[in-house]
Amino acid sequence: MPAYDKFYSRLAVGIKASDIRELLAIIKHRKDVISFAGGIPDPKLFPKSELADIAREVILKYGDDALQYSETKGLIELRETLSDFMRRTKGIQTDAEDLIITTGSQQALDIVARGMIDPGDVVVTENPSYLAAIGAFKIAGAKLVGVEMDEHGMDTHKLEEKLRSLKNSGERVKFIYTIPVGHNPAGTSLTLDRKKHIIELAEEYDVMVVEDDPYSYIIYEDGADTTPLKAIDKYGRVIYLSTVSKVLAPGLRIGWIAAIDDLTRKFELVKQYLDLHSPTLTQFIVAEAVKKGLIDRMVKVATPYYKSKRDAMLSAMEDYLPDYVDYTKPIGGLFIFVKVDKEGFNTTKLLEVAITKYKIAYVPGASFFVDGTGHNTMRINFSYPTFDEIYEGVRRLSALIKNE
C-alpha cells in the first residue's frame, strides 16, 4: 500500500484527531460512566409518533418532489415557513429569499467560513467559544481573537478595544462570531444593551456579525432578554444562524442561514459545491412539523423539563462542590461552565482519570478557548443525563475535584 500521507491536503495534515474526542467516543459504550459531555437533547422529548406520521404523509402525498433533487437554497415551502416562524417568534424580518437551508448549523458555519474567510483573516469570538465553530473558522485559515466574558457574556468594551487595536495594526477582521443566548460553553446570555453595542461596533468598524442562535427558544427565566441581534440590526450587519436540532430533533440535520443581499447569493453558490442541496425529504418533514406547531409544543414541554434539570444540576453543585469552584447559572441553553480555582487543576489532563477512576465525563474547557487558557474549566451538560445521574455525577465530580 502506498504511503497515503503524501496525498493529504495541508488542511487534512492540519486536522488532527483529538484525544478528548477519542476518550469521549469510548464512553458512549460504557454504561458505568455518567456523561455530562454531550450537548444533545433528551430523546424523551422527540415527538416520535407525530414525526412518523408526517414522514409517511409527505412521502405519500409529495413523494415525486420529496424524494427528488431540489433547489440548492432549500425548499421554498420550508424557507417560507421558517421565515414566518422567525418573524412570529423572534421578530426577525428575513424574507424567504434570504434563507439558505443547511445540513445543521455546522454546515451553516462551514458555508460562512468558506464564503467569507481567507487565510489570515481575523474572526473575533467570545473566549471561550463553540468548539466546532472555532474548528470551521480555523480550517478556513482564520486567526481567532477572543474577547473576555463575564456573567453577561462578551464584554463589549473589551470587544471595542480589540476591534480598535486590530484596526490599528491593519488586520482584516471579517466578522464577530457570537452565541448571544445560552452560550456554548459559557452558559451566559448577552444583555440587550450589549447586543446593541455589538451592532454599533460592527457598523463603526465595518465588520459583519455572525449570530449563532440554537438555544434562545429554551429560556428558563421570565423576563430574560432573548432578542436576536438580527431583529435589531438596522445596518444590515448580522448573519443569523439557527437550527431545529434543540427544539425538534438533531437527527433531521436542518439548520439555516438568514443571510442578506449579495451574501445570500454567494452562500448559495458555495453550498452548491458542498452537497447540491440538503435532503429534500427532511426539509419536507420539518416544514410540515413547523406548520403543525410541533416546535411550539416542544418548546413548551422542553422548557420546564430542562429547567428542572438545570435546577437539579445547580442544586447538586451547591450541595457537593467545594467553595473554590465557580459555575454559571444559565438562563437558557444546555450548559453550565465550571471553573475550579485550585492550583494546577487541569481538566484536560484529568479527563482520563475522571472517566476511568471516577466514572464521570465532561468536556475540558481548554478546548473552547482560543488563547490556550481555560485549563481549570469544564463544560457540563444538563439536558441529557437523568436526574439521578445529575446528582450522582456531581457527587463524583466533586470527589474528582477534591482528590486530584
Nearer residue to a copy of itself within complex by CB, 21 or 88: 21
Nearer residue to a copy of itself within complex by CB, 52 or 192: 52
CA distance 23 to 350: 12
Nearer residue to a copy of itself within complex by CB, 178 or 376: 178
DSSP alpha helix (H) spans, 206-293: 261-275, 280-291
Q: Where are the beta strands (DSSP E) in 204-319?
A: 208-212, 238-243, 254-258
Angle at 55 between CA 51 and CA 58, to 5 degrees: 130
Lookup: cell for 58: 409527505
Nearer residue to a copy of itself within complex by CB, 235 or 387: 235
Least separation in angstroms between CB 265 and a copy of itself? 7
Nearer residue to a copy of itself within complex by CB, 32 or 262: 262
Least separation in angstroms between CB 321 and a copy of itself? 28
DSSP alpha helix (H) spans, 91-130: 104-116
Least separation in angstroms between CB 329 and a copy of itself? 26
CA distance 134 to 253: 20
**Run of H or E residues at 361:** strand 360-361
Q: Are residues 202 and 209 in contact, defined by beta-carbon separation less than 8 angstroms?
A: yes
Angle at 144 between CA 139 and CA 150, to 5 degrees: 135
Least separation in angstroms between CB 315 and a copy of itself? 27
- 3-class secondary structure, 212: strand
Angle at 14 between CA 11 and CA 20, to 5 degrees: 125
Least separation in angstroms between CB 174 and a copy of itself? 6
Nearer residue to a copy of itself within complex by CB, 79 or 396: 79
As beta bridge partners, residue 275 has none
Least separation in angstroms between CB 60 and a copy of itself? 5
Nearer residue to a copy of itself within complex by CB, 53 or 341: 53
Burial 325-356 (b: 16+ CB within 10 A, else e): bebbebbbbbbbbbbbeeeebebbebbeebbe
Least separation in angstroms between CB 370 and a copy of itself? 16
Least separation in angstroms between CB 222 and a copy of itself? 30
Lookup: cell for 289: 412539523
Nearer residue to a copy of itself within complex by CB, 181 or 207: 207
- For residue 132, how many other CB atoms are within 10 A of its CB? 15
CB burial class (10 A; 0-12, 13-18, 19+) of residue 69? Answer: exposed
Residue matched to cell numbers 468536556 = 363
Nearer residue to a copy of itself within complex by CB, 142 or 380: 142
CA distance 120 to 214: 28
Nearer residue to a copy of itself within complex by CB, 64 or 222: 64
Least separation in angstroms between CB 388 and a copy of itself? 18
Q: No. of H helices and E strands in the chain?
A: 13, 15
Least separation in angstroms between CB 41 and a copy of itself? 8
